[in-house]
Amino acid sequence: MAASTTSLPIAATKAPIYKSLFWQVVLGLVLGIVIGVLAPDFAQGLKFFSDAFLKLISMIVAPIVFCVVVHGIAGAGDLRKVGRVGAKALVYFEVMTTIALTLGLALAFLFHPGQGMNIDTSSLDAKALSTYAENAHKLQGAGVGSFILNIIPTTSFDALARNDVLQVLFFAIFFGASLALVGAPAKPVADLIQTLSTVLFRAMGLIVRLAPLGVLGAVAYTVGKYGVASLQQLVSLVVLFYCAIALFVVVVLGIVLRLCGLGIFRFIAYFREELTIVLATASSDAVLPQIMRKLERMGVKPSVVGLVVPTGYSFNLDAFSIYLTLATVFIAQATNTPLSFGDLILILGISLLTSKGAHGVPGSAIVILAATLNAVPSIPAIGLVLVLSIDWFIGMARALGNLLGNCVATVVIAAWEKDLDLSTAKSVLEGQISGVQALE
Q: pLDDT tens, 90-100?
A: 899 889 989 99
Q: Taking Cα atoms as reference points, which of 325, 288, 298, 297 lies closest to residue 406?
A: 288
- Structural domain boundaries of the chain? 17-439
Does the structure show a pLDDT above 80 at 128? no
Q: Look at residue 121 and tell me whether its pLDDT is greater than 70.
A: no
Whether residue 94 contacts residue 353, with contact meaning beta carbons closer than 8 Å, is answered with no
pTM of structure: 0.70
For 17-439, give the CATH class: mainly alpha
Q: Which of 237, 301, 298, 288 is nearest to 399 (CA)?
A: 288
Res 80 pLDDT > 80: no
Tell me the per-residue pLDDT of 22-41, one tens digit each, with 9 for 90 and over: 677 778 878 888 888 888 88
Count of C-beta atoms within a 10 Å radius of residue 18: 8
pLDDT of residue 436: 47
pLDDT tens sequence across 375-434 = 677 787 777 777 766 777 788 888 899 999 999 999 999 999 888 999 999 999 887 766
pLDDT at 1 over 50: no
Q: How far apart are CA 309 and CA 297, in angstroms?
A: 14
**Cβ neighbours of 19 (radius 10 Å):** 9
